[in-house]
């Protein structure tokens, strides 16, 4: 298995632009997580999906952030409009079941100018 796949690996955009991050979980996993990593705040859970349904989005910072999981093999995290303070590394992780080992993707490094 290729593991969790994220794209793009790097994204540089200007303030106010829309940003879409993509994730393909490991086949057969039914739980998907989006995390954000910054120097100041460390790793933060943004949202958790189980069987394609958002279960916990309490970590989503504000309405500018939205996440979807239209099917078991694809999820997106969208920021609109983006701001410089959104600059971070965004990780997607998946697990077989909700409480199992989470496998992380390589991350998307987002820079908002």
- Distance (Å, whole) CA 102 – CA 47: 14
Select 82 or 102, whichever has its Cβ closest to another protein. Answer: 102
Q: Which residues, 25 to 54, sit near another protein by CB under 8 A?
A: 31, 33, 42-43, 45, 48, 50
102 binds another protein (CB under 8 A): yes
5 binds another protein (CB under 8 A): no
Q: Which residues 6+ apart lie within 8 Å of 53 measured at CB?
A: 69
Q: Which residues 6+ apart lie within 8 Å of 26 measured at CB?
A: 1, 3, 4, 94, 103
Q: Which residues bind another protein (CB under 8 A)?
A: 4, 31, 33, 42-43, 45, 48, 50, 55-56, 91, 93, 95, 98-99, 101-107
């Amino acid at each position: 298995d290729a593991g969790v796949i994220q794209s793009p690996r790097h994204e540089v955009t200007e303030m106010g632009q829309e940003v879409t991050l993509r994730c393909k979980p490991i086949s057969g996993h039914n739980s998907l997580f989006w995390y954000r990593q910054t120097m100041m705040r460390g790793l933060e859970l943004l949202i958790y999906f189980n069987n394609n349904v958002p279960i916990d989005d309490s970590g989503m910072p504000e309405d500018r952030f939205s996440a979807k999981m239209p099917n078991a093999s694809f999820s997106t995290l969208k920021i609109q409009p983006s701001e410089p303070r959104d600059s971070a590394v965004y990780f997607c992780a998946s697990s077989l079941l909700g409480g199992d080992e989470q496998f992380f993707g390589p991350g998307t490094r987002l820079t908002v100018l």
